[in-house]
Structure 1
Amino acid sequence: MNQLKGKVALITGGTKGIGYGIAEVLLNVGMRIVITGRDKDQTFKAAYELTPNGGKVLPLVADVRDYTAMQEVVVEVLKTYGQIDVLIANAGVGHFAKISDLTVDQWKETIGVNLTGVFHSVKASLEAIKKAKGYIMTISSLAGTNFFANGTAYNASKFGLTGFTQALMLDVRNDDVKVTTIMPGSVSSHFGGRSPEDGKDWRIQPEDIGQIVLDLLQMHPRTLPSKIEVRPSKTASS
């Protein structure tokens, strides 16, 4: 744990769900956390809830679809902490509908946030990550390899994200930068309009993904799990 204390993790979409769960876990081992979100009130509220006594969470308002905004995030993180050791490209949205009902705006938002937004986040922070010999993790989905009805936009974004991350891993592995994509199945969160079931849920909990992130950060540097699929142990009908 001591090797992670004081390290800086930038988590996009860190205001709730998986991003928030990851932030909680990394805070507990002494890392300094930066979270981004599109809504100012929600972003600052999440930062306060994560550390009500202040000090270890920096909230920054940014839309990952805006490359300039992500560049400004990186500048602010480096100004505040001087380094970025870990990027968790987590920000994501989901629109699910038959292609006949899916709107152009829904398509653009899904691809813009889930795929282009990750490119922007990685591109903006890459030099800092290289300097730190750090780690990039993207949060894809089992929908990045398994297609389903009503998933044209979401499947396209996550298939693309899985491919992007694996190619990125090959691009930077000799720069001492590690890259992993985590591909969760059903997670207990408000994603896609769902409601968590207050601990009675059969789905993966956000902090479980946080534990995977922590395990990856503690793994011996010679070993790289470049793609991790994770699903609930049981199904809803079990």
Structure 2
Amino acid sequence: MEQKKVVITGVSRGIGRAIGEKLLEMGWKVIGVSSSPSPLTTFQIDLKNRREIEKIASQIGEVDALVNNAGVGYFGQLENLSLNQIEEMVKVNLLAPLLLTRLLLPGIKKRGGIILNIGSTSGEEPARLGSVYGATKGGLHHFGESLFQEVRKEGVKVVTIIPDLTKTPFYRNTFFEPSPMEGYHLQPEDIAQIVEMVFTLPFGVVPTKIVVKPQFFGIEKRKRRK
């Protein structure tokens, strides 16, 4: 039997890395896409660059699954965000998943595969000091729901996992971070475990949106790194 292939963006760290490691354990061939080198990175590219996305998609060919995980966030009053920061969030969080899904979709449809998006609770509810980030994630959530209506007849599953505060390097660009206390944040491995569940569900079962939250809520001001 041919080994199933999955493309994962943002695979070098955090949730993407945990998902990659989990799918490797499950016997999948992982094609990792990231802006940073790592043991799981197959293609090191800039996801803000459309030409680079088109180039790797042509090299990848047909796959069984795509995990749109890469993301970036800058937080603060809108007027305090730079235009470059706004553009980066829109391109990485929303445009790149749309483009990569469009390019890989024909092969995924042939194989009755899976498209899995990693969203954020910021895209489900008003995000104070996160209006742009929340807008990009909300757009990704809506894209997933709408795309499923297009491709469900071909047997393609489209699932969006929506995590709340997760302990990852994502918060290096923010002024806050999850509380380190147990139960106040999710771990990347928690999300990977849910991905495993999605990838092993029987045919015909599609949880289009899965919201995941820690038991308790707590954030704190991020400590300055020396």
Alignment TM-score > 0.5, same fold:
yes
**RMSD after superposition:** 2.2
Shift of residue 137 of structure 1? 0.5
- The answer for the alignment partner of 2:222 in structure 1 is none
* 1:13 and 2:10 aligned: yes
Distance (Å, rounded) in 1 between the aligned partners of 2:49 and 2:105: 16
* 1:229 and 2:207 aligned: no
- The answer for the alignment partner of 1:172 in structure 2 is 151
Shift of residue 76 of structure 1? 2.3
Q: Is the 8 A contact 1:21 1:210 kept in 2?
A: yes
Shift of residue 72 of structure 1? 2.0
Q: Which runs of 4+ in 1 moved over 4 A?
A: 194-201
In structure 2, stretches of 5+ residues that fail to align are 220-226
Tell me the percent identity.
31
Select which of 53, 57, 69 maps to 1:90: 69
Q: Describe the superposition over 1:44-94 as per-residue Cα deviations: whole angstroms up to 9, x where unpaired.
A: x332xxxxxxxxxx611222233332222223223xxxx411100011000
Q: Describe the superposition over 1:130-185 as per-residue Cα deviations: whole angstroms up to 9, x where unpaired.
A: 12110000111111111122111101111111111111111111121110111000
Q: Is the 8 A contact 1:11 1:33 kept in 2?
A: yes
- The answer for the alignment partner of 1:60 in structure 2 is 43
* 1:99 and 2:78 aligned: yes
One-letter amino acid of the counterpart of residue 57, structure 2: V
Shift of residue 197 of structure 1? 9.0
Q: Is the 8 A contact 1:65 1:120 kept in 2?
A: no
SS at match of 1:64: coil
- The answer for the alignment partner of 2:116 in structure 1 is 137
Greater alpha carbon shift after TM alignment, 65-74 vs 206-215: 65-74
* 1:207 and 2:189 aligned: yes
Greater alpha carbon shift after TM alignment, 61-70 vs 203-212: 61-70
Number of equivalent positions: 216
Shift of residue 198 of structure 1? 9.0
Greater alpha carbon shift after TM alignment, 122-131 vs 192-201: 192-201
Q: Is the 8 A contact 1:64 1:120 kept in 2?
A: no
Distance (Å, rounded) in 1 between the aligned partners of 2:179 and 2:17: 17
Q: Cα–Cα, structure 1 residues 133 and 30, in superposed 2: closer, same or farther, change >3 Å?
A: same
Shift of residue 7 of structure 1? 1.2
One-letter amino acid of the counterpart of residue 105, structure 1: N
Q: Is the 8 A contact 2:165 2:178 kept in 1?
A: no
Q: Is the 8 A contact 1:9 1:31 kept in 2?
A: yes
Shift of residue 196 of structure 1? 8.6
Distance (Å, rounded) in 2 between the aligned partners of 1:19 and 1:197: 21
Q: Is the 8 A contact 1:64 1:121 kept in 2?
A: no
Shift of residue 202 of structure 1? 3.5
- The answer for the alignment partner of 1:185 in structure 2 is 164
TM-score by length of 1: 0.84
Select which of 44, 58, 64 maps to 1:75: 58
* 1:46 and 2:78 aligned: no
In structure 1, stretches of 5+ residues that fail to align are 48-57
Q: Is the 8 A contact 1:189 1:196 kept in 2?
A: no
Shift of residue 217 of structure 1? 1.0
Q: Describe the superposition over 1:200-222 as per-residue Cα deviations: whole angstroms up to 9, x where unpaired.
A: 67411111111111101111111
